[in-house]
Amino acid sequence: MNSQSQVESTLKEILEVVKPLHEGWVTRFKIINELREVVQSIENLRGATVEPFGSFVSNLFSRWGDLDISIEVSFGQCVSSAGKKRKQTLLGELLRALRKQGGWSRLKFIPSARVPILKIVSKWQNISCDISIDNIQGEIKSKFLFWLNEIDGRFRDMVLLVKEWAKANGINNPKTGTFNSYSLSLLVIFHFQTCVPPILPPLKDIYPTNVVDDLTGAKVDAERRIAQVCSSNIARFKSSTSRIVNRSSLSELFISFIAKFSEINLKASELGICTFTGQWEYIANNTRWLPRTYAIFIEDPFEQPENSARAVGQKQLVKIAEVFETTRCILISANITRNTLLPTLVGPQTSRFLIKKHPTVYPNSNYRYYRNTPPQAHRVVQSPLQTQYHLWQPQYKNSRPSTSQMQHQGPRMVPSTPKPQSQFVRMRVPNGPRLPNHQFQKPNPSVPQDQVQVQVQPQIQRPRTEGYNVKFGTRGPHQVQHNQGQMWRPKYDK
């Protein structure tokens, strides 16, 4: 196995471990429902809604990812936001209610943060939760990342791999002066915009103005307007006959990503990263960014000219560049093995799952290496995440996906009848959880699970009910249906 093949197989093995399981989706919904009960028990929060956002909504969270929650006190009618003091007061009341109820640990209130946050850890799988008030900006950014994720399936894989690698190397923690996860996602977007040929367009081609400036009026109407513009522009980009499709493998994209930013500390002194225009921009020529007081500038494309990497310090930027360069040297070295790659690419939590793989000796070879354990056959679960955060798009006569779309949709390897030397058949697993509509019901124990139906709403609405409903599918080819008010569904992973 050559170096390129070794990197490719190792990255895919890591993805099998870090992608969330079905239990992870169910547990997070359970946490959301419990928080709703607590919120409704507080006099000043009755009628408020509990909305997830962040990586959970964008479908970019890992098995051990945290959960971001926004409590909307505007009751979903108008785009508004409580003042900072009001947010502090409400989060303080929520903190007391959670302590009184019990079942939550490591409760920490950070009222002085730019956005006041209440941090808690659930008794369910010890999932960490960050709770804020009226964080509509966070909600719309999460939906944008979800829509981008559906342009090309490799985007999600790269984000998961990059975040895992960054955590393993200590550069994914804004508290220590390094990148937050949102900045890392923007770096992946930028890489996909600047690789040859590009995979993603400049974000101005998807939404031509500053998103947060257009969050005005009725919240549902504002979201619908933004979604319609994005849906139309994304469809135009994907259907363009002049676009050259990038067919790079995951390992090629990962290695070129690491190489692109291996001297990021040197470039950052003069150049800023702008995903809105999809190119490096000279800081001195960008009036939006001046006066510059940051070690590195990664502009938030949805909230310009905010710097998503404002927490990064100059000393830590040097460390970040060193991590990139060290990783680059390892990835391109000769005679690379799985055992030399893993300490660089994953942290201890992921390593514990990977080291369970058993070594296999192959005939006619003078070395041993760990074979990827084939994914187990499993039933595909369609959760309530399938019914929200859709884009409005026209009907198409031919709903069959194009060859390029099918190629990058990320087919899974599902084992066939056991054969010698672990032979497999490749097939497409039906897509799984979409983003939550929250208009779902508790499962009825008297109804067989395979008959439970998901209620699909034509537009985003606020939750007033609890519980969830699932529909169990069977393995088989998935036929894409372009329904009014729906966009692509995120892949579901075991």
pLDDT digits (tens, 9 = 90+) for 136-192: 889 899 999 999 988 999 999 999 999 999 999 999 999 999 999 999 999 999 999
In eight-state DSSP terms, residue 125 is T
In eight-state DSSP terms, residue 465 is S
Place of tokens 């790079």: 248
pLDDT digits (tens, 9 = 90+) for 56-66: 999 999 998 89
* pLDDT (0 to 100) of residue 349: 83
- In the predicted structure, residue 404 carries a pLDDT above the cut 80: no
Decide: residue 87, CB within 10 A, 0-12 exposed, 13-18 middle, 19+ buried: buried
Q: What is the mean pLDDT of residues 296-308?
A: 94
Place of tokens 């010698």: 420
* pLDDT (0 to 100) of residue 361: 32
| Residue 467: Cβ within 10 Å count | 12
* pLDDT (0 to 100) of residue 81: 63
Ramachandran region, residue 54 (left: φ > 0; alpha: ψ -120 to 50; beta: rest):
left
pLDDT digits (tens, 9 = 90+) for 246-276: 999 999 999 999 999 999 999 998 999 999 9
Is 145 in contact with 185 (CB distance < 8 Å)?
yes
Q: Where are the domains of the chain?
A: 3-345
For domain 3-345, the CATH architecture is Orthogonal Bundle (1.10)
Structure tokens at 359: 């070594």
What is the phi/psi pair of residue 152, to 5°?
-150, 125
- In the predicted structure, residue 399 carries a pLDDT above the cut 80: no
CA distance 199 to 219: 31
- Residue 352 banded pLDDT, cuts 50, 70, 90: confident
* E strands, 49-94, in order: 49-53, 67-72
What is the phi/psi pair of residue 424, to 5°?
-130, 160
Q: Which residues share a beta bridge with 109? A: 118
Give the global pTM.
0.73
